[in-house]
Structures are given as C-alpha cells and as structure tokens.
Amino acid sequence: MTEFKLTRRQFGLLAASAAAAGLLPIPARAANGSLVAATFPGNWEDAYRRVLTPLVSEAGYDLTIAPALAQDQLAKVMASPGAPAYDTLLMSPGQMAIALENDLIQKIDTSRLSNWSKLDPAFQGEYGPTVTVEVNGIAYNPDLVPAPKGYADLFENPAYAGKVSWTGFGSNTAVMAYTQLAKIYGSGPEDMDAVFKLFADHPENLAGVVDSTNSQMSLYQQGEIAVFMCSTGNVAKLKSLGLNAEFVHPETGSPAAPVNIHLTKGSNNLDAAYAYMDAAISQAAQEQLTLPPTEMFPTNMDVALTPGIEAFVTRDTIPSLVYPDWALINKNRPDWIRAFDALVMG
C-alpha cells in the first residue's frame, strides 16, 4: 500500500477548507512565497480574507486564511511542532500563555513592521502585535426580551427562561462569562462549582447549550434564541444582516480579550509572515475593519473610532474593562470542560 504523508503546507491548505479556496481571489502568483495564517472562523475569517489577502498580495505573497478556533490552532501546532500547520496564529492571552509554555511561538523583530510605531504601546507585544481588543457582554433581541442588567438577570428574571444560549468552556467568550458568574454566585472566579450548581438549578438554561458562538449566531438568526454571550463584533454582524440585536455591558463589567498575531516557531516563510502582520496593523486594513460587519476596535492610533464602536468602547475605557486571570483559567480549564460536558450530557 502506498503511504501518503501530508507536508505542513498541504495540511494548512486542507485546514483552510474547500470553501476558503473557492473564495480566494487569484492574484498574480507571488514570487516570494506563501503564508498559512490561522484565523478564527466566521466573521474573522471572512474579514481577514477580504481585507488582508489583497494587501499581502500587493506585498508579493500568497495568503491562505485557515479558519480554526484558538484551542484548535494550539492542538494542531502542538501535534507537529517541528513542522507547524500555520505560519502565524491568532490568539488571546490565554492560548498565548500555553503557546509560550510549549515553545510554539517566537519573539518578533519589530524593525520588520513598518506600522509598528503606529500601535499604542499597550498593543506592542514582544511576541506579536495586538490587532484588536474584543469587548464581551450580552447580546439580546429587543423584540423578544427586555435588556438584561447582567449575567445574574439571565437566571433570576423569568423573562429569560428558555431563551438564553450558552456554550462550553472551550470558548473564550463563554469562559470569561463563567468566571464572572463564579464571582457573583461563588467565592471568586475560580469557584466554578457555584456555576455548575446554578445550571443544575436552572435546567432551562442547559437546553440552550451549543458548541460555539457561530452556532449561537445561527440560532439567533432563526429566532430560536433571544440572548447569548457575545462580543460587540457578533452584534455588529447580526445588525449587518438586518437583524434586531443589541449589546449590553453586564453590570459587573465587560470582560475583554486582546487578540494577537503570533509568529509560529518553524514558520517556513518569515518574510510573508511579517508582511501579513504589517498588513493587519496598517491603517488601510484597520479602517476597513472598523466598518460593519466587523466593527473591530482599531489598535493603530491613526485610525479613528467609528460612532458604532464608540457606542461600546473608547480608547479611554479600554484599560477599565475586565481582563480575566488567564493563568487561573488555563490551570482549571480542562477540569471545567469535563465537568460542564458531564452536566450537559446529564
């Protein structure tokens, strides 16, 4: 029997999926090589393909956007650290800490990024630039439910019974909400037994558990749910589709997560990777990404906030958002995932 082995590049291209390949434009073939960039699926995938592919192509490189959740990016790179599936990773601080512990990413040479000086210093990480800050809270349909005050309202106000959707602890958005609930109902963010008891006491909320925020977006569009934990970007996307959706800052504060591009150790094409990073923090790209359907907070100081973004967050309020203790989350997350899955499965 003939044995087939996928090269790292072939694997990355497969991970990008046939849909991705079908949507890619056909630029003049790059003379300098190609890049496989891991990107969150859904809104991020669409936006980065639409906005960054032409900019990277202009720099002389082919860009393949490979959609994968941060946890899945980690798993694939850890599976083959000597020949990583991706040249760059897109992650929040929780996954970045794991990538560092496992020696999967490397420090960057900032002199190779022409737009580096345009970043707010808070977003100039030695392991890669912050491209936006995701602000999290609660999305709701004002046609179906009143505006929630916060996370506790979703369990204590009968108006939300059976209308709220949650996801598992693999989701950053979900785990940030759960640590907030643990502070409200327990002794602190680590007291997840209090959250599991809360769900056990409210089985109507377990009926709305699905596998991802993307699934929640679909359920919301179909009118099957009225509330879910989200980022402001999720609400921007729903509004762009013509749906009635609003965002609420929880009364206990809005969890937030910087999103960073990291350079994978063993990347085959460093020049292309730097071109991609530079495009992502450029004024040209971030101005487009501040518009619907993404409305991403820009980290490039030359990019003005739109009224839509300023309705949720300003540059002055970014430091006051709730930034979780990712070391605590990473330490407990596997156990929390198992406990939550067991609870959902009954």
Strand partners, 227: 140, 164
pLDDT tens sequence across 31-82:
467 899 999 998 899 999 999 999 999 999 999 999 998 989 999 999 987 8
pLDDT tens sequence across 110-130:
999 999 999 999 999 999 999
DSSP 205-229: HHTTEES-HHHHHHHHHTTS-SEEE
Nearest to 128 by CA among 157, 156, 99, 148: 99
CA 314 to chain centre: 20
pLDDT tens sequence across 164-201:
999 999 889 999 999 999 999 999 999 999 999 999 99
Rounded to two decimals, what is the model's pTM? 0.85
Determine how β-strand 209-210 pairs with β-strand 128-140.
unpaired
3-state class (DSSP) for residue 88: strand
Predicted local distance difference test score (pLDDT) of residue 338: 95
H-run or E-run covering 133: strand 128-140
Predicted local distance difference test score (pLDDT) of residue 32: 62
Q: Which amino acid is at 344?
A: V
Residue 271 CB burial class (10 angstroms; 0-12, 13-18, ≥19): middle
pLDDT beyond 60 at 10? no
